[in-house]
Structure 1
């Protein structure tokens, strides 16, 4: 009798919180076309029938709740009602997340989680490079950001101009800061300034770059450096970020494991993942320039890449330039750090056998593999619905073919009857 009010109160609190979070989302109409350049907007373009939109809806409410105290207004637009909005912003799929800031418009292509969407909005809400004037701010930034870039020095010169330009390009994907030697102190030790660092895994890595008097070479080298360093050393790879990882033009080394719905991993798979991670952590200087390491918790993504059912755990390496992939000959569970290093050496020396690629035959087979896999999952999940979805169109096709064939046969019979009647008359 005593515990019942507690449960009721807790349930009521959750319901009120969910309602409050959802109420922070502004329901927008076609009038948004007139005001989207005023202030900052984070907007979800959705359709009521879209299953992905329905899954994103509670997350979107939490995003709005988190950003409520900022200058960013969070809204959503039903594109089935306001089709002119969808046409104006060239919406081709649902849900589409857009950030508006004045005349600028940014499309979000990352993971649909609250934290990632919030980071995306916060990055774009400020200037491309944010100034740090207090030493204490570094501790807060390190707790909030896994990776960030830092310029130490005055805002003048070729290095600053290049850094600011590259920051403007990569603002949707990373945080960029600027500070001074007396402010940064131990957080970014440097003998010479100006200097540029990237912070990750509790360490700062220095940008060496090209001759700073050669603007074109400096711009090219910093662009490539930022593009390669904006990821953690061993990130979780998903469908939301794998396309960005492909832009590094490195070989992508992936430990493939499986998570359950609670994001739990079996101990043997954790051990395998940690072993692969240890290779890059211990030999970063050797492999970092040529290999980007990571791990996949969704075997379906790895299966789609390999065009086969990969064993779990497993190791797969993707050439992000040619889309070829490599699989070690040894059984994954028997791999050792030394065996992984030998395998990477073979890939670097181009002596390892390659699979896949971008050829039209490979693309056709990949499409067929994904269709077959999707059909198999649908059949396991709901065989009756699968039969209805695919059986009805197939049945209609057979009926049409049958009608055409029968029509030809009937026409032929009519012609024979007419010929026979003419012969009798003669």
Structure 2
């Protein structure tokens, strides 16, 4: 039993293991001797989710799962004396629990902290996973109660979102603070900004209550309605211009509708980066901040990725969406402020048609994802529709009420006026 108030994390991997594959996974991988003799990973089955209300992470099996299996055993040993539980599920035998937690890829790693689910998208080495779990375990909100601690955060290069309050009492029944906490936890990760609660100390003089963003060396106060706060926080979790890498690509693609990429032959120098920052400081759609995000990438480092788009001249402007499956590219657009902003505004206005990496594959995957997302509704529809048709058909073709007998229509007597006069 975990004591009340203790931040506990269940970190769980679900492995689809067919037949005797469990023993194959263990025997075919090179595993440290320390974990060969002991397996502390919890095996969950359908119905176990209710037993772990604090949460857990999981992933089904694929080729990569065999590589992950010994690492997962090492994690269980590493955290054996803590409140953190490492678990796995065979999704082939326990599709219920995997469906309940929306497992779609193999392997999938999910984390539950205090009952809230988070998807893990980082590296899969032992050290990376331990670093991630340790950070999640320490808590997502930094509490600051003195000026020295606040100055330390302000001097850090990392982005910070700071909720300033006069007292802890003032936080009770505060919907703005509740929203701030909710989105902070959603965004909290190894590469996320610092989320800070500062009681009685403010980075901006005169501001006793509110949310302040420290980003790119500037302090900005949030002054919009509470409805705008989630998109404002999601947008500002990244710098106005971010270097794109393997870790940031997927979360940025999922957060923003359009990923603006400045592709250079090699990493741009400081002067070029400053010019790109001038472009990236322009917000294309103030009503929906998560429409566009600006990044730069080295073609030399990511040639395998950029080669798919057949870029003609570098530097080039490439705008991708749907995780890169569809994109906007025009070799005539130069990487300067006027050309870029005009092109992005044309995209926003719908004046430019996007292109497909693979048209057939894109719509095939969209169809598969649609079926997977609405499989239960489709199953019900398949079952209910013919039953409903039978019921409706039988009711319309069944016995009818007897109709009353109709009297014959009386004949109309026509009198010829001419004959009437003759008579």
Per the normalisation by structure 1, the TM-score is 0.56
Identify which of 235, 240, 247 aligns with 1:233. Answer: 240
Q: Which residue of 2 aligns with 1:222?
A: 229
Question: Could you tell me how far 1:204 is from its partner in structure 2?
Answer: 4.5
Question: Could you tell me how far 1:151 is from its partner in structure 2?
Answer: 0.5
Q: Which residue of 2 aligns with 1:315?
A: 317
Quick one: structure 1 residues 158 and 277, their matched pair in 2 at CA, closer, same or farther if it must change by over 3 Å?
farther
Question: Could you tell me how far 1:233 is from its partner in structure 2?
Answer: 3.3
Gaps of 5+ in 1: 1-15, 211-217, 258-267, 369-426
Paired residue secondary structure (2:44):
coil
Question: Could you tell me how far 1:34 is from its partner in structure 2?
Answer: 4.1
Quick one: structure 1 residues 204 and 351, their matched pair in 2 at CA, closer, same or farther if it must change by over 3 Å?
closer
In structure 2, what is the Cα distance between the partners aligned to 1:122 and 1:282? 37
Whether 2:359 is the aligned partner of 1:356: answer no
Q: Which residue of 1 aligns with 2:421?
A: none
Question: Could you tell me how far 1:286 is from its partner in structure 2?
Answer: 3.6
Q: Which residue of 2 aligns with 1:329?
A: 332
> RCO greater where, 1 or 2, for CA within 8 Å and sep 6 or more?
2
Q: Which residue of 2 aligns with 1:344?
A: 340
In structure 1, what is the Cα distance between the partners aligned to 2:359 and 2:135? 36
- 2:187, 2:234 within 8 Å by CA — same for their partners in 1? no
Whether 2:252 is the aligned partner of 1:252: answer no
Alignment of 1:24-423 (within 5 A): 26-30=40-44, 34=48, 37-38=51-52, 40=54, 42-47=56-61, 50-57=62-69, 71-80=83-92, 85-86=97-98, 89-102=101-114, 104-113=115-124, 121=133, 125=137, 129-135=141-147, 137-138=149-150, 146-154=158-166, 155=168, 156=170, 160-174=174-188, 175-182=194-201, 188-201=203-216, 203-210=217-224, 218-237=225-244, 241-246=248-253, 249=256, 251-256=258-263, 269-271=266-268, 277-282=273-278, 285-287=281-283, 291-296=292-297, 297-304=301-308, 306=309, 308=310, 314-318=316-320, 324-329=327-332, 339-350=335-346, 354-356=352-354, 363-364=359-360
Q: Output the aligned Cα RMSD.
A: 4.8
- 1:195, 1:206 within 8 Å by CA — same for their partners in 2? no
Gaps of 5+ in 2: 1-29, 189-193, 365-423
Question: Could you tell me how far 1:169 is from its partner in structure 2?
Answer: 3.7
- 2:162, 2:198 within 8 Å by CA — same for their partners in 1? yes
- 1:251, 1:317 within 8 Å by CA — same for their partners in 2? yes
Question: Could you tell me how far 1:176 is from its partner in structure 2?
Answer: 2.5
Aligned length: 316
